[in-house]
Amino acid sequence: MREIIIGIVCMVVIAVASSLILDAVDYSSKTTYTSKNNTVRL
């Protein structure tokens, strides 16, 4: 049963860590994206 709790705790920890990392990313550095069909994307 200990592993069930560890698994759930891992799930919460990874989710929180992901949110902190993604919120810290500076998205303004990448404003455009060019695909192979030459569409410039935000």
**Residue 30, CA distances (Å) to 1, 2, 11 in order:** 45, 43, 29
By CB under 8 A, residue 26 contacts another protein: no
By CB under 8 A, residue 28 contacts another protein: no
By CB under 8 A, residue 29 contacts another protein: no
Helix (H, G, I), strand (E, B) or coil at 4: helix
Strand ranges for 1-42 from DSSP E: 33-34, 40-41
Shortest distance (Å) from residue 22 CB to another protein: 8
Q: Which positions lie near another protein, rule CB under 8 A? A: 1, 3-4, 6-8, 10-12, 14-19, 22, 31-33, 35-37, 39-42
